[in-house]
Structure 1
Amino acid sequence: MAASGAGDAADPIDYGSLFEVNPDLLNPEFVENVRDTLAGKTSDSKPFPHISLENFLTNPRALDCLREELGRAKWTTKATDLYSMKRTTELINFDATVFPALKAFRRFLTTKGREFMMKLTGVDLNGRVDVAGSCYEESDVLLPHDDRMEERKFAFMLYLTPEWEEEWGGQLVLFNSDEKHYPTNVAKKIAPKLNNFLFFNINHEIGHTSWHCVEEVIAPGKKRLSLNGWFHIDDIGKSRALPRETELEKILPSLNIDYEDVRAWINPIYIASSEQKAIKKLFASKSELALCNFLTAEKYAEALQELKSAEYVPTGPPNLRLVERLDESKLPEKSAIISFVNKMNHGCYSLCDDQMAADALNNGFCFDLLLFFMDDQEWNKDAGGYLSYIAANDPNEILRVDPVSNGAAFVFREPEVLNFTKYLNSKCGKKSYFVLNCSYYSNSSGDSETESSEEVEEEEYDDDSENYSSEPKTDYNEESVNEFKNNDDSEVDQAGNPDQADLPDEAKQ
């Protein structure tokens, strides 16, 4: 039954009494079970305490009203390294004359709902309650995180979708953790069932234990709708940081290579001295470059064939990445391919985190080399999989690199500039690409020989010189560097540290 508007005289709605909690949820036996769960004594205590309150609201009309008003609300598309989804502003910002049910629901959460949660859990909550709407549609996802932030105590979500099938994706996924509190394998999946109020404990003292995510929604035309947020406490106790992840070993590049090897592998157009000068000048001016058909056709085909037949190992941890890393031990003795290669297919990604930001600062200036291998000439841009460069505390994307067959990307980045690989969603189907990803570090000031010599080169090789043309002869001038996009007008909100009001962790679930 559709909800009537506030001004419908034939069937008025009393929004003040619209939201009432199912009284069975305060049954003494049920309350005891909830508190045992929070104390770690029941099956729902694993992998971390979580409680599902089915048939939460007694009046079905309340759910209809919430869905109707959310259907009229303004939704903003959010896309960062961590998530892709739509969300509303916080309900506190809604106009009660236009959205009376949503405003009444927030009042309910801060009054009766808060009192109910304290009776149920025995936890003294303060008056702060954050709540907003979240909507996941096809290819939307929220990757693993733990919600530890500020004074959050309980993350909650009220599911509003009338019907939801498991094969549509979009389930809430809970992760086990290892002894260092990093997430490991999937422990449990919970479907977004209508009128289920699910909440879980955020334990700041034990460590990072509440790892969870929202599976990608893979069904076209389906919307996973919920209202979600956090209850807070005044004293969260001492918060424990994650131990540092073991870093990949840094090695010195080998110079054991001769000119014939270079000629065999690199497209000869890029070996010509005049073209190298053009490349050098363009890179000095832009600090990034894309070269098409970088390898010779013969070597590219040879390497691609070996990459497709090689073996790969899923590599995490899930809060940082999921990639298929080349298993070097399984390569043939005379293999044409080398290490530092990842296979990227549906479900792969890499994220930015605090350790990455610290490492970027400590490592100093960096030169990235990316070399892509794949069957198709271009990658489906709607499928994710691009590499995005962002500053540690800046919400704007600096640079985007899209995978291109036999394309080489070169990026010079300053300290505190991070990169991530956007989640490869279901729109990539069964397709994949391979990427050779190398980063060369320097603790210098960043004044490279290329930069300092640019002015000298312009004097030595002016535009009228017979020996040098300022217009490169190949597909890497400014008009054709289409693998790199400066998205100053992009709607993508790539935040290394998103604004708290806009961060929809899976309390936005």
Structure 2
Amino acid sequence: MASKRPQGDCGSAERKKKRKNSVEKVGLCSVLEDEQVKTAVKRAWRQKTHYSCGNLACHPFPHCIIRNFIGEDGFIDDLQKELLGLNFNEKSNDLYKFKQSDDLKKSNKPHIQGIRSVLFQQFRPWLEGMIGAELESTVDISCAKYEYTDVLLCHDDELEGRRVAFILYLVPQWDSSDGGTLDLYKTDYNFQPKEISKTIVPTRNTLVIFEVSPVSFHQVSEVLSKEKCRLSLGGWFHGQSLERPPRYIEPPVTRNPHIPRDETLLMEWVNPVYLDISYQEHIQGEFEDSSEIQLKDFLKVIMSCFFLLLTFRFSGQRKVCLNAFRCYDVASLENLPECIYGCWELLHSEAFFLLLSNFTGLRLHYLCPSDDDDDEEQKTKENVKQDEEVESTPKCSGELRRWTHGSYTLLHDGEAARAEYALDLILPFQCADWDTDFGGFTCYVANEEDEELLTVYPEDNSLALVYRDKETLKFVKHINHKSSQPSTDSSRGRTFYDFSIVYYE
């Protein structure tokens, strides 16, 4: 008898395990089963018109909001518990910062299996009828967890085979002041994201779907709540991709040759230690070893103090530079205080071009030494065909920028297409109390890779020089809500400024 009892317990445990791992079956909300609703939704989607039941709309691009998607609240509660028990991976690059689970297509947890069954077996036929296209049985689903300062910036979701995106919200009571909204962008005539046209506040047990297309630009705004977790399931239904127009190529940024100013400008502005020829040779040696260097206390202290004027007289406006891929303030040169404009002239002057040549060994001035070997190396770098004309005059382009909460730049296709050999200069000010947790640092990455090659953090009056090739791209990390907290010496949030100049040989 003693030998049989453990066997019986084992069998009972096995049965319990099977019940525990069995698929939890659940139904869709009743409105999706209504034949009149199916017909009306199908007609509205194809005619690109609004339909109130299910909140189907086609502006700025076709999307549908289905509230109370799952018919049983208890299932949603249990699904949430299963999801919160998963392992989450930190995700962070130019575009996003949040936590994501592994792919859930093979998870054997009962409620996750149940929601997969609902989405890809029960709901998929309904969706096929609405959009009038066949969808594959491919399961593409994961869980995302957004907490304080997490964000997913503007993107279009386009990838071969993705036809319809979906998000199922599993949030507590949520308000727009908590952030984490799904923002839909309208596009301009070049199919580039222009501005937010619609904002959707997450609601528990609500499914949002939208057509993946060349204009389906959207973002998850930064989560501002310190207490709440924005939990969601998301993925894509796969099918034949929509036709997309040719990629838009942005016009090149205007480049200018140096301003004819002599070395007196250097002596007026630059820390004398950097004007010493032997020290310039030392800097060049370090730069040639690593292709980057930071020169601390670059400007004379008395000059750097003048940048306090920027706090009160900065005349830039928040603008979306090129489109929603960049967001920061740019100064208007016409209204700069005289001393600030003087620094702008310094960085664009002939004397400074020569100084940069001495720092880096790059050919940014005709007095820079050259030989046949250097000429051959330059041709290799530029990958110039023999029948093309090589522009020989060094030039530069630049901005005076203000960085504050919500500022960022993104990598995008146009950025990669225009990548070339160049020397980046970044000269920040008013960032003495800037914390790396705020964002606002410049990251250099290899094209189509997430691994960071170099990170340049804002540091007061520290001149950063970085030489990059055609396979190296850069972005400025999104500045989050932590930066908006009052600083020790001000009741306002933190802000810093920088000169950003790019020099071309």
TM-score, normalised via structure 1 length: 0.79
CA contact 1:372–1:403 (8 Å) conserved in 2: yes
Structure 2 residue 348 is the aligned partner of structure 1 residue 289: no
The CA deviation at 1:17 is 5.0
What is the identity, as a one-letter code, of the residue corresponding to 1:293?
A: D
The CA deviation at 1:154 is 0.7
CA contact 1:138–1:218 (8 Å) conserved in 2: yes
Q: Which residue of 2 aligns with 1:179?
A: 189
Q: Structure 1 270/7 Cα, relative in aligned 2: closer, same or farther at 3 Å?
A: farther
Q: Structure 1 352/14 Cα, relative in aligned 2: closer, same or farther at 3 Å?
A: closer
What is the identity, as a one-letter code, of the residue corresponding to 2:477?
A: K
User: Following the alignment from structure 2 to structure 1, what is the Cα–Cα distance between the partners of residues 433 and 469?
Assistant: 29
Structure 2 residue 446 is the aligned partner of structure 1 residue 436: no
Classify the secondary structure of the residue corresponding to 2:140: strand
Structure 2 residue 97 is the aligned partner of structure 1 residue 77: no
User: Following the alignment from structure 2 to structure 1, what is the Cα–Cα distance between the partners of residues 24 and 311?
Assistant: 63
The CA deviation at 1:434 is 0.9
CA contact 2:28–2:118 (8 Å) conserved in 1: no
Classify the secondary structure of the residue corresponding to 1:186: strand
The CA deviation at 1:275 is 1.8
Q: Which residue of 2 aligns with 1:489?
A: none
Q: Which residue of 1 aligns with 2:222?
A: 216
The CA deviation at 1:317 is 4.2
Q: Which residue of 2 aligns with 1:476?
A: none
Q: Which residue of 2 aligns with 1:345?
A: 404
User: Following the alignment from structure 2 to structure 1, what is the Cα–Cα distance between the partners of residues 103 and 475?
Assistant: 28
The CA deviation at 1:64 is 1.4
Structure 2 residue 163 is the aligned partner of structure 1 residue 153: yes
User: Following the alignment from structure 2 to structure 1, what is the Cα–Cα distance between the partners of residues 496 and 262?
Assistant: 29
Structure 2 residue 22 is the aligned partner of structure 1 residue 22: no
Q: Structure 1 328/152 Cα, relative in aligned 2: closer, same or farther at 3 Å?
A: same
CA contact 1:378–1:403 (8 Å) conserved in 2: no
The CA deviation at 1:202 is 1.7
Q: Structure 1 251/307 Cα, relative in aligned 2: closer, same or farther at 3 Å?
A: farther
Classify the secondary structure of the residue corresponding to 1:340: strand
Q: How does 1:88-237 map to 2 (within 5 A)?
A: 88-94=101-107, 96=108, 99-203=109-213, 208-233=214-239, 235-237=240-242
Q: How does 1:409-488 map to 2 (within 5 A)?
A: 409-429=464-484, 430-442=493-505
CA contact 1:38–1:201 (8 Å) conserved in 2: no
Q: Structure 1 297/370 Cα, relative in aligned 2: closer, same or farther at 3 Å?
A: same
CA contact 2:295–2:462 (8 Å) conserved in 1: yes
Give the number of the structure whose alpha-carbon radius of gyration is greater: 2
The CA deviation at 1:73 is 0.4
CA contact 1:172–1:213 (8 Å) conserved in 2: yes
Structure 2 residue 244 is the aligned partner of structure 1 residue 260: no
TM-score, normalised via structure 2 length: 0.79
Q: Which residue of 2 aligns with 1:466?
A: none
Q: Which has the higher contact order (CA 8 A, sep 6+)?
A: 1
The CA deviation at 1:55 is 0.6
The CA deviation at 1:306 is 3.8
Q: Structure 1 173/201 Cα, relative in aligned 2: closer, same or farther at 3 Å?
A: same
Q: How does 1:257-336 map to 2 (within 5 A)?
A: 257-306=261-310, 308-313=312-317, 314-331=319-336, 335-336=341-342
1:161-185, Cα deviation, whole Å (9 max, x unpaired): 1211221100000111111111112
User: Following the alignment from structure 2 to structure 1, what is the Cα–Cα distance between the partners of residues 145 and 156?
Assistant: 20
Q: Structure 1 424/302 Cα, relative in aligned 2: closer, same or farther at 3 Å?
A: same
1:430-469, Cα deviation, whole Å (9 max, x unpaired): 2111111111124xxxxxxxxxxxxxxxxxxxxxxxxxxx
Gaps of 5+ in 1: 1-5, 443-509
User: Following the alignment from structure 2 to structure 1, what is the Cα–Cα distance between the partners of residues 267 and 111?
Assistant: 70
Q: Which residue of 2 aligns with 1:398?
A: 453
